[in-house]
Structure 1
Amino acid sequence: MRRISRLTRAAVGVASLALAATACGGTSSEDGGGSDGGGGGSKDAKGLALAYDIGGRGDQSFNDAAFAGLEQAKKEYGYETADIEPTEGETDADKEQRLASLAKQGYNPVIGVGFAYGPAMEAVAAKYPKTTFGIVDSVVEGDNVASLVFAENEASYLAGVAAAKATKTRTVGFVGGVDVPLIHKFEAGYEQGVKDTDPDVEVIGQYLTQTAEEGGFSSPDKGKAAAEGQIEKKADVVYQAAGLSGQGVIEAAAEAGVWAIGVDSDQYEQEALAKYKDSILTSALKDIDGAVFALAESVESGKPLTGTKTFDLKSDGVGLAASNPKFAEVPGVTDAVAKAKEGIVSGSIKVRTE
C-alpha cells in the first residue's frame, strides 16, 4: 500500500468526487470590511484561517493534518494565514465569536476543524455571505459553506483487516475518544474489517467519555489507561480514534510490546511519536490536509467549493499507511488489505457506519 495521496487539484477538478464549484464572491465581511478575496501573493492579502478542534495543534493527528494544509496554502499563495487554538470548556458562543472574528478580519476561507463547530458555523456563515467557510467532519447547510466529510469507516475497515492479520492472541482493541456518531463510524468499519477477515477474533471497544468537554479527545492519560485495560484482556493490537488522547494509547502499546494503529495522520511519521514508532503498525488516514488545501485553492481560483464534499477510498481521500517496514512483514497483510480496498472501491464490500 502506498501512502495516501493529497487531493488538492484532483478535489477541485470535480471528476472523482463530484465536487460542485460555486462562486461566492470575494473575501469580506457583511459590513464590507476585509480584503478583496484571493491571496495572489499580495502583501496585505489574507487567506486561509483555521479554528482548531479540541486538542489543538500538536495532536500529531487530526488538527496537525489541517495545519499541514494551511502551510501548503501559505507556501503556494504567499498570503497571510491564521490558526487559532480552542479554549478549555468553551461554548458554541465562543466558537461563533472566533469564526466571526476571522471572517471580519478578512480571512478567506475560514475553516472550523471538527464537528463541534457545526452550530457556530451555521450562525456565522449567514452573517458573512461573502466569506467562504469550511467545516471538517460535519455537514452545515449554507450557500457559502463547504462541508468536508470523510469515509472514515472505509479506512477503518482496512485497519481492521490489518489488525486481524497481525493479532496473535485473537483479541484486538478499539479506543474511541468520545461516544458520538462520528467515532462510531471508525469503530463500525474497524470491527467489520476484523470480522470479515477472521470471525474468531474478538474486538474489545471502549469510549473514553460521553462528551468532548470531558476530555475524550484531549487526555492522553485517559487513552493510556483504556489501552492498558484492553491489553490486560489480551488485546495485542489497539486502534485509536481519540485525537490527542490517542498518544496515550500508542504509549501504552509501546510499553506493553503490542501493536498500536494510528489515525488521521500517518502517526509512524510524526516526530513527537518517534520513540514509539516501532509499535505503530499502521494508521487509518484521512487526507484532511488535501481537503483543506483544496478549499483554499478553490477560493484562490475564484470558484469556491460549496456543499458536501465526501472524500472516500475511491478518491484516495482516505487510506491506510504502510510506512512502518514491519507492516509488510505481517503474513498476508499486504494482499488482504489490497483485496479489501478493491472490494470497497468496486462496491462488492459495503462498509457499515454503525
Structure 2
Amino acid sequence: MKRSNTLRFAAIAAAGVLALTACDNAAQEGSGDGGDGGGEESSELRVGLAYDVGGRGDRSFNDSAYRGLEQAMNELGVDAQEFEPTDGEADSAKVERLSTMADEGYNVIIAVGFAYDGAVREVAPEFPEVDFAIVDSEIEDVDNVTSLVFAEEQASFLAGAAAALSTEEDHVGFVGGVETPLIHKFQAGYEAGVAHVDEDITVEVDYLSQPPDFSGFSDPARGRELAQAQYDRGADVIYHAAGASGNGVLEAAVANDFLFIGVDSDQYENAEDAQKPFVLTSAIKQVDVAVFELIQAATEGDVAAGIERFDLSGGGVDYTTTNEELISPIQGDLDEIKQQIIDGEIEVPTAP
C-alpha cells in the first residue's frame, strides 16, 4: 500500500538549536504559537534518526534530515534521538544500531542513506510494530518500510545548466563522493544539463572512493584535492555530490576563485560569509520536508509502506536562488529549462 505524495514543500525555518530536546521541552516550546503541526503540543512518539556517513554537520544531506527532525520536535513534540555512524563501519554495525533502536522502544526509525538498505531489510521484519523509513533506497517488499526517494538527476540537470551558463572557460567539473548508482544519477543529470546548454563544454568527473569504501562522503581534504586538480585542468565551475567532502570543494573554490555548486541543502545559507560569494547555486532535495511529513503521519497513525517519490514537479527537488547576484542573470533560462523538464519536453537520464 502506498500513501499519496502530498508533501507541502515549503521552506523550513531552522531553530538554530544544536542539541536535541526531550518531548516535554519541545511541548513547552510549541505551546506558545502552536506552529503548523496540527495543534499538537506533545506526542508520545519516539523517533530515532540514524545518520549516513559523515553525520550531522556535513552542511548537506545529513543536516537536511536533521532539520526535518528538529521541526518535528518543535512542532509535534516528539521525543527524538540522533545516532551517528562511525568511519568505515561494517554493515553489521548498522544492523546493530537499528536493532538497538527498536529494542529501546523507538516507534519510528529513519535510516538516512542507501547504505542502510541491507540493514533495514534485515531488521524491519523483526519489528513489525515499528515504522521504518529509509532515504535514497527503494524497498517495496517489507510491510513496515517507507522509502523516501528523490529525482536527484532533475536538480542536477539544472545545476549543469547553471554551470554551463556561468563558465567562462567552457570547462566545468563534477566531484562525486562514492561511485555508486545513486551518485551516477547526480553525474548523469549534471552532464546532460551542461550538454543541453552547450555540447562543446568539457566536463571533468572524479570520484573520491569506490565501494565498499564509503570514506568519499566524509573526506573534505580529499574533496579539496580533487577540486584543486580539476581547477588546475581548467574547470571554473565545480558541482559536488560528496556529502561532507563537499566542504573541501568549497574551500578550493574560495582559494582559487572559481564557482561552487552545492548539493542536497542550500549551501549558500550554510556557508561562512567569506565563502558565500563563490556559491553559484545548490541542487537541493527536500529531505527535511520528507522526514518531517513522515513523522507527522506517524503521529496521526497514517504511515503506509511503499515508495514516496519526490521530483521537480512537486517541489521535492530544485535549484536555489539565494545568491541573487550570481543566479539572477541566468534564472530566466533555468526556470524555462525547469518547466520543460516538468512538462516532459526534456527527459533527464539517470545514468552517465
**TM bucket, shorter chain:** 0.7 to 0.9
Count of aligned pairs between the two proteins: 318
Is the 1:125–1:145 contact (alpha carbons within 8 Å) kept by the matching residues of 2?
yes
Shift of 1:12: 8.0
SS at match of 1:159: helix
Instruction: Flag structure 1 segments of 5+ consecutive residues without an equivalent.
Output: 1-7, 14-39
Q: 1:193 corresponds to which letter in structure 2?
A: G
Is the 1:113–1:135 contact (alpha carbons within 8 Å) kept by the matching residues of 2?
yes
How far apart, CA to CA, are the structure 2 residues paired with 1:149 and 1:305?
A: 15
Is the 1:194–1:201 contact (alpha carbons within 8 Å) kept by the matching residues of 2?
yes
Of 149-158 and 195-204, deviating more is 195-204
Alignment partner, residue 347 of structure 1? 344
> TM-score when scaled to structure 1?
0.86
SS at match of 1:326: helix
Of 204-213 and 249-258, deviating more is 204-213
SS at match of 2:58: coil
Greater RCO, CA 8 A, separation 6+: 1
What do the CA deviations read for 1:73-94 (whole angstroms, capped 9, x no partner)? 1011212101110012211111
Instruction: Say if 2:9 is the partner of 1:10.
Output: no
Instruction: Say if 2:244 is the partner of 1:247.
Output: no
Alignment partner, residue 310 of structure 1? 309
Is the 1:299–1:305 contact (alpha carbons within 8 Å) kept by the matching residues of 2?
no
SS at match of 1:10: coil
Superposition pairs for residues 324-335 of structure 1, below 5 Å?
A: 324-330=323-329, 333-335=330-332
Alignment partner, residue 227 of structure 1? 227
What do the CA deviations read for 1:311-331 (whole angstroms, capped 9, x no partner)? 10001000000101222354x
SS at match of 2:189: helix
Shift of 1:218: 0.3
Is the 1:12–1:298 contact (alpha carbons within 8 Å) kept by the matching residues of 2?
no
Alignment partner, residue 333 of structure 2? 336
Instruction: Flag structure 2 segments of 5+ consecutive residues without an equivalent.
Output: 10-39
How far apart, CA to CA, are the structure 2 residues paired with 1:144 and 1:274?
A: 43
SS at match of 2:273: helix
SS at match of 1:189: helix
Is the 2:175–2:242 contact (alpha carbons within 8 Å) kept by the matching residues of 1?
yes
What do the CA deviations read for 1:125-150 (whole angstroms, capped 9, x no partner)? 00000110000000123111000000
What do the CA deviations read for 1:230-275 (whole angstroms, capped 9, x no partner)? 001110000000000000001101111110000000000015x433
Is the 2:45–2:108 contact (alpha carbons within 8 Å) kept by the matching residues of 1?
no
Distance 1:12 1:201, change over 3 A: closer
Is the 1:263–1:284 contact (alpha carbons within 8 Å) kept by the matching residues of 2?
yes
Of 118-127 and 101-110, deviating more is 101-110
Distance 1:75 1:217, change over 3 A: same
> TM-score when scaled to structure 2?
0.87
Deviating runs (4+, > 6 A) in structure 1?
A: none
Q: 2:158 corresponds to which letter in structure 1?
A: L
Alignment partner, residue 84 of structure 2? 85
How far apart, CA to CA, are the structure 2 residues paired with 1:351 and 1:299?
A: 33
Superposition pairs for residues 171-320 of structure 1, below 5 Å?
A: 171-211=171-211, 213-271=213-271, 273-320=272-319
Q: 2:274 corresponds to which letter in structure 1?
A: K
Shift of 1:348: 0.8
Is the 1:204–1:230 contact (alpha carbons within 8 Å) kept by the matching residues of 2?
yes
How far apart, CA to CA, are the structure 1 residues paired with 2:45 and 2:297?
A: 15
Shift of 1:211: 2.3
Of 188-197 and 94-103, deviating more is 94-103
SS at match of 2:53: coil
Shift of 1:46: 3.8
Q: 1:276 corresponds to which letter in structure 2?
A: Q
Alignment partner, residue 37 of structure 1? none
How far apart, CA to CA, are the structure 1 residues paired with 2:87 and 2:328?
A: 43
How far apart, CA to CA, are the structure 1 residues paired with 2:48 and 2:98?
A: 9
SS at match of 1:216: helix
Q: 2:332 corresponds to which letter in structure 1?
A: D
Alignment partner, residue 121 of structure 2? 122
Alignment partner, residue 24 of structure 2? none
Is the 2:53–2:214 contact (alpha carbons within 8 Å) kept by the matching residues of 1?
no
How far apart, CA to CA, are the structure 2 residues paired with 1:212 and 1:341?
A: 35
Q: 1:351 corresponds to which letter in structure 2?
A: V
Is the 2:54–2:218 contact (alpha carbons within 8 Å) kept by the matching residues of 1?
yes
How far apart, CA to CA, are the structure 2 residues paired with 1:324 and 1:90?
A: 37
Is the 2:171–2:203 contact (alpha carbons within 8 Å) kept by the matching residues of 1?
yes
Once the two structures are aligned, what percentage of the paired residues are identical? 47
